Amino acid sequence: MIGIVWRRFKKNRLSMAGLCVISLISLMAVFAPLISPYDATSVDVYNVLSAPDRSHILGTDELGRDVLTRMLWGSRISLTVGFVAVGIAISIGILIGSLAGFYGGRMDSLLMRFVDIMLCFPTFFLILAIIAVVEQSISTIMIVIGFTGWMEVSRLVRAEILTLKERDFVLAAKASGANDFRVITRHILPNALSPVFVSATFGVAGAILTESGLSFLGLGVVPPAPSWGNILTSGKDYITVAWWLSVFPGLAILITVLSYNLVGEGLRDALDPRIWRSEK
Give the pLDDT score at 20: 94
Is residue 148 scored above 80 in pLDDT?
Answer: yes
The continuous run of DSSP H or E covering 102 comes out as: helix 67-103
Give the pLDDT score at 233: 83
Distance CA 237, CA 87 (A): 35
Of 170, 176, 204, the C-alpha closest to 19 is: 204
Give the pLDDT score at 31: 92
Distance CA 84, CA 207 (A): 9
Distance CA 246, CA 238 (A): 9
**141-163 mean pLDDT:** 89
Listed as own residue / partner, the contacts of 176-181 with beta carbons closer than 8 Å and 24 or more positions apart are 180/102
pTM score: 0.86
Q: Report helix, strand or coil for 66.
A: strand
pLDDT tens-digit readout, 72-95: 998 888 888 889 999 999 999 999
Cβ neighbours of 135 (radius 10 Å): 8
Of 82, 34, 111, 58, the C-alpha closest to 220 is: 82
pLDDT tens-digit readout, 168-178: 888 888 888 88
* Domains present along the chain, CATH in parentheses: 20-28+65-279 (1.10.3720.10)
